[in-house]
Structure 1
Amino acid sequence: MLDILLPILLFSALLLAAIGAVRRVRLWRQGRPSPVPIMRGLMQMPRRYLVDLHHIVDRDKYISKTHVATAGGFVLAALLAIIVHGFGLDSAILAWVLLAATISMFVGSLFVAKRRNPPPQRLSKGPWMRLPKSLMAFSVGMFMVTLPTAGILPEDAGGWLIALVLAAVVTWGLGEMFFGMTWGGPMKHAFAGALHLAFHRRQERFSDGTGGEHRSTGLKALKLDDDKKKLGVEKPADFTWNQLLGFDACVQCGRCEAMCPAFAAGQPLNPKKLIQDMVIGMAGGTDANYHGSPYPGKPIGEHGGSPNGPIVPREGRALVDAETLWSCTTCRACVEECPMMIEHVDAIVDMRRFLTLEHGNTPNKGAEVLDNLIATDNPGGFDPDSRLHWAADLNLPLMADKKEAEVLLWLGDGVFDMRNQRTLRSLIKVLRAADVDFAVLGNEERDSGDVARRLGDEATFQTLARRNIKTMSQYRFSRIVTCDPHSFHVLKNEYGELGTADMPANYEVYHHSTYINELVKAERLTFKAWKGGSVTYHDPCYLGRYNGEYEAPRDVLRALGIEVKEMARSGYRSRCCGGGGGAPITDIPGKQRIPDMRMGDVRETGADTVAVGCPQCTAMLEGVVEPRADIKDIAELVADALTTDAAAGKKASGKNASQTERNVEEVTS
Structure 2
Amino acid sequence: MLLQAVTRETFWTIGPVGEAVFYFLAAVAVLVFSYGVYERFARYTKGTADPFERLDDLSGRVRRAARMLVSNEAQFDRDLYAGVMHAFIVWGFLTLLIGTTILAIDIDIYRRLAGESFFVGDFYLSYSLVMDALGLLFVVGVGMALYRRYEVREERLWGKHTGFEDDAFVWTLFVLGVGGYVTEALRIVGTGFPPFETVSFVGYFVATLFSAGGMSAGAAETLYTWAWWSHALLALAFVAAIPYAKPFHMLSSLANVVTRDEKAGLRLPRVPEHLAPDEIGYTEIGDLSWRQLLDMDACTKCGRCSSACPAKASGRNLDPRDVILDLKAYRESVDAGGEEVDIIADGGTSVIDSESMRSCMACMACMDACPVDIEHLTHFTEMNRRLTETGQQPEQVQEAMMNVFQNGNAFGDPARKRPDWVEELDFEVPDARDESVEFLWYVGDYPSYDERNQRVARALARVFHEAGVSYGILYEDEANDGNDVRRVGEEGLYEMLVEDNASAMADCDFEKIVCTDPHSYNTFEHEYPEMAAELDVEFDYPVFHYTQVLQTLVEAGRLDLGSIERTVTYHDPCHLGRYNGVFETPRDVVRATGADLVEMPRNRKDSFCCGGGGGGLWLDQEEDVKPSEERLREATEDTVRRPEQFVVACPMCATMYEDGRKTGGFEEELEIVDVSELVVEALDARTGASSGETTPAAAD
TM-score bucket (shorter structure):
0.7 to 0.9
State the AA in 1 paired with 2:66: Y
Equivalents in 2 of 1:319, 1:500: separation in Å?
A: 36
Instruction: Say yes or no: does 1:610 pair with 2:646.
Output: yes
Q: 2: distance between equivalents of 1:498 and 1:285?
A: 35
Q: 1:24 to 1:420 in 2, by over 3 A?
A: same
Match of 2:544 in 1: 510
Q: Which residue of 1 is the match for residue 87 of structure 2?
A: 68
Separation of aligned partners in 2, 1:169 and 1:122:
32
Superposition deviation, residue 639 in structure 1: 1.0
In structure 2, the residue matched to 1:593 is: 626
State the partner residue of 1:169: 231
Which residue does 1:631 correspond to in 2?
A: 672
Measure how far apart 1:150 and its partner are: 9.9
Say if 1:32 and 1:237, in contact at 8 Å, map to a contact too: yes
Residues in 1 aligned to 2:629 and 2:331: alpha-carbon distance in whole angstroms: 37
CA contact (8 A) 1:609 1:632 kept: yes
**1:100 to partner: Cα distance:** 4.9
Inter-partner Cα distance in structure 1 for 2:635 and 2:645: 9
Does 2:323 correspond to 1:270?
no
Percentage of identical aligned residues: 29
AA matched with 1:67:
H
| 2:497 partner amino acid | L
Q: How does 1:155-234 map to 2 (within 5 A)?
A: 158-159=220-221, 162-176=224-238, 178-185=239-246, 187-200=247-260, 202=261, 204=262, 217-224=266-273, 226-227=275-276, 230-234=279-283
Name which of structure 1's ranges 225-234 and 253-262 shifts more when overlaid on structure 2. 225-234
- In the alignment, what sits opposite 1:528? 562
Q: Give the deviation of 1:591 after TM superposition.
A: 2.1
Residue 175 (structure 1) shift: 3.1
User: SS of the counterpart of 2:393?
Assistant: coil
Residue in 2 aligned with 1:236? 285
Aligned AA (1:30): K
* Contact 1:38 1:199 survives alignment (8 Å): yes
Per-residue CA distance 1:119-148 (angstroms, 9 max, x = gap): 311113544344443212223334555689
Of Structure 1 and Structure 2, which has the larger fraction of its residues in helix?
Answer: 2
Measured after TM superposition, the shift of residue 318 of structure 1 is 2.0
TM-score for both structures, normalised by structure 2: 0.81
Are 2:484 and 1:451 equivalent residues in the alignment? yes
> How many corresponding residue pairs?
613
Q: Any idea what the Cα deviations from partners look like across 1:442-486, whole Å, max 9, x if unmatched?
A: 111111112210110000001011111111112221211121111
What's the CA shift for 1:56?
1.8
Alpha-carbon separation, structure 1, partners of 2:190 and 2:83: 32
Q: 1:510 to 1:368 in 2, by over 3 A?
A: same
Aligned-residue offset at 1:530: 1.1
Q: Residue 388 of structure 1: which of 404, 415, 419 is its match?
A: 419
The Cα offsets for residues 179-206 of structure 1, whole Å up to 9 and x where unpaired, read as: 3421012x22101111112233x1x36x
**Deviation (angstroms), 1:549:** 0.7
Secondary structure of residue in 1 paired with 2:72: helix
Mean Cα deviation higher: 555-564 or 19-28: 19-28
Larger deviation, residues 260-269 vs 9-18: 9-18
Task: Return the alpha-carbon distance in structure 1 between the equivalents of residues 602 and 42 of structure 2.
Answer: 41
Gap change, CA 1:645 and 1:143, over 3 Å in 2: closer
**Residue in 2 aligned with 1:656?**
none
Do 1:73 and 1:101's aligned partners in 2 also have CA atoms closer than 8 Å? yes
Please, which of 643, 654, 658 is the counterpart of residue 622 of structure 1?
658
- Give the 5 Å matches for 1:259-408: 259-284=308-333, 309-313=341-345, 316-356=348-388, 358-394=389-425, 395-402=428-435, 404-408=436-440
CA distance in 1, matches of 2:433, 2:274: 32
> What whole-Å deviation, never above 9, does each CA across 1:357-376 have from its counterpart, x for those lacking one?
x2121113111111111111
Contact 2:265 2:364 in 1 (8 A): no
Deviates more, 1:124-133 or 1:415-424: 124-133
Match of 1:252 in 2: 301
Q: Specify the alignment match of 1:50 in structure 2.
A: 67
Aligned to 1:604, the other structure's residue is in SS state coil
Per-residue Cα deviation, 1:466-522 (whole angstroms, up to 9, x for no partner): 111111112221211121111111111110102239743232111111111110000
Q: 1:147 touches 1:153 (CA, 8 Å); kept in 2? A: no
1:20 aligns with 36
- Provide the C-alpha distance between the structure 2 equivalents of 1:146 and 1:40, rounded to a whole number of angstroms: 44
Structure-2 separation of matches of 1:157 and 1:341: 51
CA distance in 2, matches of 1:85, 1:3: 13
Could you tell me how far apart the structure 2 residues matched to 1:158 and 1:14 are?
31
- Paired with 1:448 and 1:5, the residues of 2 have a C-alpha distance of 68
Q: Distance in 1 between matches of 2:330 and 2:241?
A: 20
TM-score (norm 1): 0.85
Question: Can you list the C-alpha shifts for 1:200-249, whole angstroms capped at 9, x where unaligned?
Answer: 3x1x36xxxxxxxxx87222222335549932222333121111102211
Query: CA offsets, 1:67-86, max 9 Å, x none?
Result: 33322222332343255359
- 3-state SS in 2 of match to 1:114: helix
Distance in 2 between residues matched to 1:153 and 1:194, nearest whole Å = 41
1:400 aligns to what SS in structure 2? coil
Q: Which amino acid aligns with 2:37?
A: A
Partners of 1:169 and 1:118 in 2: CA distance:
29
Q: Distance in 2 between matches of 1:503 and 1:241?
A: 31
Q: Relative to 1, partners in 2 of residues 1:8 and 1:111: Cα closer, same or farther, differing over 3 Å?
A: farther
Quote the Cα distance in structure 1 between the aligned partners of 2:643 and 2:229. 63
Say if 1:314 and 1:572 are closer, same or farther in 2 by CA, change over 3 A: closer
Report the alpha carbon displacement of residue 381 of structure 1 after superposing the two structures with TM. 1.1
Matched residue SS, 1:631: strand
Cα deviation for residue 26 of structure 1 reads 3.2
Alignment pair present for 1:113 and 2:154: no
8 Å Cα contact 1:408/1:480 also seen in 2: yes
The residue that corresponds to 1:141 in the other structure is 179
Distance 1:84 1:150 in 2: 18
Structure 2: distance between partners of 1:271 and 1:603: 29
Q: Distance in 1 between matches of 2:519 and 2:345?
A: 31
Structure 1 Cα separation of the partners of residues 376 and 218 of structure 2:
54
| 1:584-628 per-position Cα deviation (integer Å, ceiling 9, x unaligned) | 324342222221111111221322110111111111111122333
Rate the CA distance shift 1:140–1:438 in 2: closer, same or farther, 3 A. same
Tell me which moved more, 117-126 or 421-430. 117-126
1:233 to 1:305, Cα distance in 2 relative to 1, 3 A: farther
Distance 1:18 1:229, change over 3 A: farther
**Paired AA for residue 44 in structure 1:** R
Which has the larger displacement, 11-20 or 508-517?
A: 11-20
CA distance 1:32–1:161, change in 2 (3 Å): same
Pair member with larger Rg: 2
Q: What amino acid sits opposite 2:491 in the alignment?
A: E
Alpha carbons 1:280, 1:306 under 8 Å: kept: no
The whole-number CA distance in structure 1 between the counterparts of 2:545 and 2:97 is 50
